[in-house]
Structure 1
Amino acid sequence: MTDYVSTTPGLFPLPDWAKDDLSDLKGHQKHDLISGDEGEEITAAYEQARADVLEVQREADLDRVVEGQLRWDDMLAHPLAVHDAVETRGIVRYYDNNNFYREPVVTGDLEFDGDVAAELETVSELIDDDDLQAVLPGPYSLFDLATDEHYGDDEEFLAAVGDFLAGELEAFPDHETLFLLEPSLVTESPAEGLDELASEAIDTVAAATDADVVVQSYWGALEEKVHAHLLDADIDAVGYDFVSNQEDNLYNINEYGTADDISLGLVDGQNTLVEDPEAVRDRTDWVFDQLPVAEFDTVYLTTNTETFYLPYNKFEEKLAVLAEAASLAEVTPA
């Protein structure tokens, strides 16, 4: 029997009160402040905001709970932006939207840091291990968002990023699921040769955890060869953005297959229109109706992108939609 799991890719919006308080505390110089050296008042504000988003997930009755990544001012670039061997320089547009991050320039060996593990530890003490989902940038996306001034060539740098993330992951508390977020596999598709190395780097990260590993791509569909190589990695599920691109994602699955589990991005993580749970369930059925074989051990129902872009009240409503849609799917499976 298929298990339907409601979850998110993390990277939540800050609660409204926290946006105001943290803006004041940071002196309106958000990108000039190196995360991790915030001081007691800012640290306390983030701790309260983390508790708030944890409570929102509990109230929604999501099957997997994430830390929220509220400190990730630099979005997916965060694990490098706070690293001692990285210099943060100019402000760079974050993919093709109105958000920005500080460019992380790697100037030395990417040794263990522990910043993300420390964040996750605070949540693991409050919930069951079976409910906890870890979130990391995928190695190719982190490689794509960064600039290398140390390793010297793309192949070595990508491998180093994979090794770095694997080392960070090994320090994580026990968790049931890991979401590796890989939008760059879609938006900046790896060139010939690098597509295979991207899969190898993902495999390196996945090997560092006993959790179920979901590689969540978004903002479109993977190119055919990238999708085929991704399936060579020892992962449990591929995530597909069915909000942005239905046709090409279905083609990839039908042509090349997919993993034993699947993650369906069916709720829009950027649009404020709140979906109906029954409609999301119907979309799930529709996807499976398009596949010759639609038997999966686990189906993750999630937003198609991170939810950072949403107003906080819409974010709350969308979590509830995901949880209810998963419950409906369990009752009336495809």
Structure 2
Amino acid sequence: MTRVVATTPGLYPLPDWAKDDLSDLKGHQKDDLISGDESEAITEAYDRARSEVVERQQAAGLDRIVEGQLRWDDMLAHPLAVADSVDMRGIVRYYDNNNFYREPVVTGDLTATGDVAAELESASEQVDEGLQAVLPGPYSLADLATDDHYGDEAAFLDAIADFLADEAGQFPDVETLFLLEPSLVENPPGDGPDARASEAIDTVASAVDADVVAHTYWGALEEKVYAHLMDADVDAIGFDLVSDHDQNVYNVQEYGTKDDVALGLVDGQNTLVESPETIRERIDWFQEMTGDDYGTVYATSNTELFYLPVNKFEEKLDALANAADLEEVEA
């Protein structure tokens, strides 16, 4: 019997009060923020916001709880933004949308900071079970960054993978790790690099004693990239059924998939809120089309959620949780 687990890929919008408070605080401390130092007032504001989004997920009834990644102003580039031997330079477009991030330029050997682990430790004080970690996948993080040190694409990807693995190795106990890999869709690797991308994901996945999901989105993977991703030692691959359900289903029909799957069923960039019944129908349709009875279906949004107004973001949390409950009732 398939178990439906309601979760998200994180990167939540800041609560409205936090946007105002942090904008004011950061406006007075730009030099500190550029250097990676945050005042006590900024730290306290983020702590309060993190606590609120954890409580909101619990109130919705999500099965996996993330810490929200509210400090990730540079989105998936954040783990590098706070690392040593990285210069944060000009503003660049975040994939093909109206969001921007500071370009991380790696200028020396990368070493783990423990930044992501510290936020998970804080969240774990409120979460008895079901804590979920979120990291950029190594291929996407390498794609978002610029190498000014390693001098070779393969060496740079290996270094990014080792960096993320060291970060993950510092995590508290988590049940699930979502590795977000939109660049596998947006800027697919060619022959050779596609196999190395899979190996890099293996490196990060092996660093945690948790179920690992390689979540891809903003479309479907090219067939060869997907075939190599199937070689990665992860528990589930994520499919964006909002952006391209047909090609994603074709990949599974043609090449199979893992025993578990993550399905992007809710649009992380559109304010229209899907009903629990619609979410269930999409799960049932995917299983019918692929002819598989999966052990676990992670019911999630297709993308990060920071694009949404807070009220719509919260309604989508409720819809995902209620869809999972509906599955339990009808099973």
Q: TM-score, normalised by structure 1?
A: 0.97
Equivalent positions of 1:158-197 (< 5 A) are 158-197=157-196
Q: How far apart in 2 are the matches of 1:30 and 1:58? A: 34
Name 2:236's counterpart in structure 1: 237
Measured against aligned partners, the alpha-carbon deviations of 1:24-81 in whole angstroms (never above 9, x if no partner) come to 1111887982384110111111011101101110110100000000000000000001
Equivalent positions of 1:89-104 (< 5 A) are 89-104=89-104
Equivalent pair of 1:34/1:82 in contact (CA under 8 Å): no
Equivalent positions of 1:1-334 (< 5 A) are 1-27=1-27, 33-34=33-34, 36-128=36-128, 130-291=129-290, 293-333=291-331
Measured against aligned partners, the alpha-carbon deviations of 1:210-261 in whole angstroms (never above 9, x if no partner) come to 1000000000001101110011111000000000001110010000000110
Q: How far apart in 2 are the matches of 1:242 and 1:29? A: 42
Q: How far apart in 1 are the matches of 2:123 and 2:35? A: 18
Percent identity at matched positions?
Answer: 70
Instruction: Output the amino acid matched with 1:37.
Output: D
Instruction: Output the amino acid matched with 2:50.
Output: R
In structure 1, the residue corresponding to 2:221 is in which secondary structure?
A: coil
Instruction: Output the amino acid matched with 2:73.
Output: D
User: For residues 134 and 35 of structure 1, do their structure 2 counterparts lie closer, same or farther at Cα, with a shift above 3 Å needed?
Assistant: farther
Instruction: Output the amino acid matched with 1:75.
Output: M
Measured against aligned partners, the alpha-carbon deviations of 1:135-179 in whole angstroms (never above 9, x if no partner) come to 000000000000001001000000110011001100000000000
Q: How far apart in 1 are the matches of 2:32 and 2:302? A: 30
Q: How far apart in 1 are the matches of 2:130 and 2:29? A: 35
Post-superposition, which runs of at least 4 consecutive aligned residues in structure 1 deviate over 6 A? 28-32
Q: How far apart in 2 are the matches of 1:193 and 1:166? A: 22
Equivalent pair of 2:215/2:262 in contact (CA under 8 Å): yes
Instruction: Output the amino acid matched with 1:165.
Output: L
Structure 2: 5+ residue stretches without partners? none
Deviation of 1:279 (Å): 1.1
Q: Judge which range, 19-28 or 101-110, deviates more.
A: 19-28
Deviation of 1:330 (Å): 2.3
Measured against aligned partners, the alpha-carbon deviations of 1:115-150 in whole angstroms (never above 9, x if no partner) come to 11111110112212x310000000000000000010
In structure 2, the residue corresponding to 1:135 is in which secondary structure?
A: strand
Q: TM-score, normalised by structure 2?
A: 0.98
Instruction: Output the amino acid matched with 1:45.
Output: A
Aligned residues: 331
Equivalent pair of 1:54/1:67 in contact (CA under 8 Å): yes
In structure 1, the residue corresponding to 2:27 is in which secondary structure?
A: coil
Instruction: Output the amino acid matched with 1:40.
Output: E
In structure 2, the residue corresponding to 1:213 is in which secondary structure?
A: strand
In structure 2, the residue corresponding to 1:33 is in which secondary structure?
A: helix
Deviation of 1:295 (Å): 1.3
Q: How far apart in 2 are the matches of 1:315 and 1:203? A: 32
Q: How far apart in 1 are the matches of 2:225 and 2:86? A: 28
Structure 1: 5+ residue stretches without partners? none
Deviation of 1:84 (Å): 1.0
